[in-house]
Amino acid sequence: MTTVLIKHLGRYVNQEVQIEGWLFNKRSSGKIRFIIIRDGSGQVQATLVRDETDPELFELASSVTQESSIRATGLVREEPRSPSGYELTVTGIEIVGGSQDYPITLKEHGVDFLADRRHLWIRGPRQASILRIRSEIEQAIRDFFYERDFILADSPIITALAAEGTTNLFEIDYHGEKAYLAQTGQLYSEATAMALGRVYNFGPVFRAEKSKTRRHLLEFWMAEAEMAYCDHEANLKIQEELVYYIIQRVLQRKSLELKTLKRDIGKLEAVSLPFPRISYTEAVKILRDSGEDFNWGDDFGAPQETLLSERFASPLFVHRFPAEIKAFYMKPDPEDSKVVLGADLLAPEGYGEIIGGGQRIEDLVLLRQKIMQHNLPEEEFQWYLDLRRYGSVPHAGFGLGLERTVAWICGIEHIREAVPFPRMLYRIRP
Ligand code: 4AD
Ligand code: MG
């Protein structure tokens, strides 16, 4: 008999197939038993009618416990009332591994209780839906870059330099030498862009954040693009195209998951190109006009980001931030050197900054000055300065925070549910 994924059951209507999964839940109603089986690809309701089923099989279906692993055979039927559109009439069940006293019941549990059992919590339909959407987003990102001739050039995780400030570095002992976990792959991507033209890196980055918020992880994934011969405007354009592409992909391919999450998809469908753009200086005016006590030169916190992004249905670019509050490598605006040619992309609905990016300084003398001003050790940056010594070109790039993007698209409260095993202040287990 063919073994099939639950998500593909629709291809086998009126055929007998086998599925391999776990018992999510069961109910009974008079002489009918309903067992709900999940296999990672989805879930299906399987039914047994007492008078039409072998008594031993009926008994087995009645006694199988939550999260037991089972192989089940059955006839696929169309069932318009079921979320997936199909049901299974069971013809056989084999218990592969039993499960006693599964700790996560179908009742509500507190967040700490669930977080301690994250290895089991991810089996639930909400968490599994989020992880499937995350996987789709990662694939969309790879496809987007691949279709546009970007080369995937992976950046190292262990590094000798601090690229995004020294306040949140994870230090490690590299055989007696001081090293750090990468906060970004950007500086390496600038090097690979000079070799390959348009590149991206996609992997985990690390920041020893000391505050506990619903938007910060200590380990998160970033997709970072870097483009030679690219300026600030072209950089914004590719960012908005990427985000739009991701949204369309999830709407097309993950509607069942969005439904499980009760996501208001109208909000995602309302996202359209081009995304609105305002300068930091304009943003300050908007904030002050809405009564915020905010001065030019201050950095945005979550409340300010929410206030600004709430006004738009699409993500909002805030560009030309004060040089003082941005990283050393950002290129000053030739028309006003107090601000830099960088932008943050703020997601709607208060999800905050999902992308940070900008045009980089291509001039050797200026870049050296900035490294000094930021009190960074110049000797560590010699290789990075080489990129300005040998055929420097205008170039730009950006980094998209994967978990923030997943949290927004899924409409979930907290970023910890956007990654299989979150690393947060006070939590590294499981
Ligand atoms: O704005 P950030 O710090 O930008 C960079 O690291 C640049 N080097 C990227 C580049 O230009 N190549 O971080 C980029 C994104 C943020 O917009 C945010 O979405 C996410 O990474 N991010 C975090 N996500 C989860 N937890 C944290 N602690 C995060 N810090 C940043
Ligand atoms: Mg940023």
Q: How far apart are CA 17 and CA 73, in angstroms?
A: 6
Ligand 1 neighbour 319 (Cβ under 6 A)? no
Q: How many CA atoms lie within 13 A of 229 on its CB side?
A: 5
107-111, 252-256, 419-423 — which is least confidently predicted?
A: 107-111
Predicted confidence (pLDDT) at residue 99 exceeds the cutoff of 90:
yes
pLDDT bucket at 165, cuts 50 / 70 / 90: confident
CA 381 to centroid of ligand 1, rounded, Å: 21
Predicted confidence (pLDDT) at residue 381 exceeds the cutoff of 90:
yes
| Confidence (pLDDT) at 292 | 93
Predicted confidence (pLDDT) at residue 260 exceeds the cutoff of 90:
yes
Region 187-215: mean pLDDT is 96
Q: Which atom of ligand 1 is least distant from the CA of 404?
A: 19
| Confidence (pLDDT) at 162 | 85
Give DSSP secondary structure letters for 343-398: EEEEETTTTEEEEEEEEBP--HHHHHHHHHHTT--GGGGHHHHHHHHSS---EEEE
286: amino acid identity, one letter = I
Question: What SS3 class is residue 428?
Answer: coil
Phi, psi of 138 (to 5 degrees): -60, -40
| Confidence (pLDDT) at 167 | 87
25-55 burial, b at 16+ Cβ within 10 Å, e below that, comes to bbeeeeeebbbbbbbebbbbbbbbeeeebee
| Confidence (pLDDT) at 211 | 84
Judged by its nearest atom, the ligand closest to the C-alpha of residue 325 is 2
Complex ipTM? 0.99
- DSSP secondary structure code for residue 107 in this structure: S
Predicted confidence (pLDDT) at residue 429 exceeds the cutoff of 90:
yes
All domains of the chain in start order, with CATH: 2-97 (2.40.50.140), 119-418 (3.30.930.10)
Residue in 335, 331, 352 with CA at minimum distance from that of residue 408: 352
Q: Residue 226: beta bridge partners?
A: 199, 397
The model's pLDDT over 69-86, given as tens digits with 9 standing for 90+, comes to 999 999 999 999 988 899
Beta carbons of 307 and 349 less than 8 angstroms apart: no
| Confidence (pLDDT) at 347 | 98
If 0-12 CB within 10 Å is exposed, 13-18 middle and 19+ buried, where does residue 93 land?
A: buried
**Among protein residues, the one whose CA lies closest to atom 4 of ligand 1:** 356
| Confidence (pLDDT) at 166 | 81
Ligand 1 neighbour 263 (Cβ under 6 A)? no
| Confidence (pLDDT) at 288 | 97
217 token code pair: 């992880």
Give DSSP secondary structure letters for 145-194: HHHTT-EE----SEESS-SS-STTPPEEEETTEEEEE-S-SHHHHHHHHH
For the chain, give the mean pLDDT.
96
Does the predicted model carry a pTM greater than 0.90?
yes
Q: What are 139-143's contacts with CB under 8 Å, separation 24+? A: 139/249, 140/245, 140/246, 140/249, 140/250, 141/202, 141/223, 141/242, 141/246, 141/400, 141/402, 142/202, 143/249
The model's pLDDT over 22-42, given as tens digits with 9 standing for 90+, comes to 999 999 999 999 999 999 999
**Among protein residues, the one whose CA lies closest to atom 9 of ligand 1:** 399
Provide CB contacts within 8 A for 354, sequence distance 6+: 243, 315, 345, 346, 347, 400, 401, 404, 405, 408
Q: How far apart are CA 51 and CA 48, in angstroms?
A: 9
Residue in 389, 391, 366, 400 with CA at minimum distance from that of residue 193: 391
Q: Which atom of ligand 1 is least distant from the CA of 358?
A: 11
Ligand 1 neighbour 320 (Cβ under 6 A)? no
| Confidence (pLDDT) at 107 | 86
Q: Apex CA 198: angle with CA 192 and CA 203, to 5°?
A: 65
Q: How would you classify residue 184: left for phi > 0, otherwise alpha for psi between -120 and 50, otherwise beta?
A: beta
Ligand 1 neighbour 16 (Cβ under 6 A)? no
**Among protein residues, the one whose CA lies closest to atom 6 of ligand 1:** 184
| Confidence (pLDDT) at 64 | 97
Residue in 54, 82, 50, 57 with CA at minimum distance from that of residue 71: 57
Give Cα 240 distance to the centre of its chain: 16
Phi, psi of 348 (to 5 degrees): -70, 175
Predicted confidence (pLDDT) at residue 97 exceeds the cutoff of 90:
yes
Region 159-164: mean pLDDT is 88
Region 308-329: mean pLDDT is 96
| Confidence (pLDDT) at 144 | 99
| Confidence (pLDDT) at 164 | 84
Residues with CB under 5 A from ligand 2 (ion): 356
